[in-house]
Amino acid sequence: MNGVSDDLIADCGGAIEEIAITFPGDLLEGQRPERAALYDAMSAQLSNYAALTVICESPTGPHVTAWARRLSLRRSPSIAACLPADMLDEGGYWIRDPFLCSEAGNQGQYLIPGKAASEGTYLGAWNQTPTSQVPVMMNGGNCLIGDDFWLLGAFALRDTTDSYPQYGKSLVRAEAAFASLSGKTLYVIGTRPRNFRQWMACIIENIRDRIQEKQRSQQFPRPRTSHRGDLSAWARSLGVIVPEPVNQPIRHIDLYISLTGLKVNGKRLLLVGEPKTTTNPKGPTDKDFDAKIMRSLDSLSRNDFEIWRNPMPLLLPPGVNSCPSNIDCRELRFYNNVLVQNDPAVVWLPQFGDQELALRDMDEANRKIWSDLGFTVEQVYGWSTFVTSHGAVHCATKVLKRAAINSVGPQKSA
């Protein structure tokens, strides 16, 4: 397949050498003071460790340059004012989604899923990195890349067969197309029915989820998040229910799964969010939702993965005190949406207790989990402002270059 990479850049491992964020214009216009404060602080935290590239629209370049000078960051960021005007809409915060980065020989390349240009296309032209369109449909947040494996959300298979006739609606052929992008072993996250009974149950579950999603969006309208090129999502936005033979509990797997880059007793350690129905980290779990999460990991339970749990509250959005009885409008706080490096061991962990004071214990519980694993924890505050936009640190960043790490990989005792 055109665009095969030598190695997809991992979401854990060696020190991050270069990292990118996007800078939508509304951060400059005073429309989003909470988000602007978050990006000020996060940019400083990132630049303490790595070279920072700030991607913005061409017309806003001078203003973003002035913003960077005002912050007096430890490293002066590179301002990539390379995007067309109005490209960074509400979903433009999520630079994780539009492209994948790979290391090809002595020079990297950007893999652009789908047929349209993306932020990766324009960034490649700006920094002279080769780009390649690949005939699959996915968002970068729906995959997680380890040292010798990668995880892919099952919705990517469905979206690919919806968009490319050459796969003949075959999930197996779509999976083979993804597997050809890297020599790393691919594991699909999600439920895939193996008989007619499971197929019918999956269809019913999908329809139920779509009805709930539509009711929620009508009761609590929110701006579109970044699903560019997802024809199935586009069809659903018009009210079309598309029965799928696959399902995921959450749209992107990086919202509830964290790679740690560690091994426990020879097994790769993952942190998986456990949906809590109160602000108490040891409080009750939403058992139905958690069952969906654990079913989505079936492909891992048969392989060399160790799964540990972290509390992930499922609560009403900030400022919402009640919901209609027929609508579940609770939102997760995505503590698993982290940025990780292992050499040295640092995690950038989203925090919510600064704006939602009742979540301070949740902040501390998640911080302690990573600290006990040996990580320096950079607590990135302010993510309550993005609760209904479904993203946090991992979604908002893109690792462009990462240093090598010992091939054995870090170990952790049980």
User: Would you tell me how many other CB atoms lie within 10 Å of the CB of residue 406?
Assistant: 10
Mean predicted lDDT score pLDDT of the chain: 86
Looking at residue 21, its pLDDT comes to: 98
At 232, the pLDDT band (50, 70, 90 cuts) reads very low
> What share of the chain has pLDDT > 90, as a percent?
69
Please say whether the beta carbons of 87 and 57 come within 8 A: yes
- Span 332-364, pLDDT tens digits: 999 999 999 999 999 999 999 999 999 999 999
Helix (H) or strand (E) holding 127: helix 119-127
Helix (H) or strand (E) holding 213: helix 196-219
At 238, the pLDDT band (50, 70, 90 cuts) reads very low
Looking at residue 253, its pLDDT comes to: 97
What six digits make up the tokens of 352? 């919510």
Tell whether the model's pLDDT for residue 170 goes beyond 80: yes
- SS3 (DSSP) at 385: helix
What's the DSSP call for residue 26?
Answer: G
> Helix 61-71 vs helix 33-47: angle between axes, to the nearest 10 degrees?
60
At 204, the pLDDT band (50, 70, 90 cuts) reads low
List residues bridging with 324 in a β-sheet.
none
* Distance from C-alpha of 81 to C-alpha of 63, rounded to nearest angstrom: 10
What six digits make up the tokens of 32? 């989003």
Give 4 or 379, the one with higher predicted confidence: 379
Give 198 or 99, the one with higher predicted confidence: 99
At 80, the pLDDT band (50, 70, 90 cuts) reads very high
Q: Which domains does the chain have, with CATH numbers?
A: 16-403 (3.75.10.10)
What six digits make up the tokens of 129? 């990195």
* Distance from C-alpha of 386 to C-alpha of 355, rounded to nearest angstrom: 11
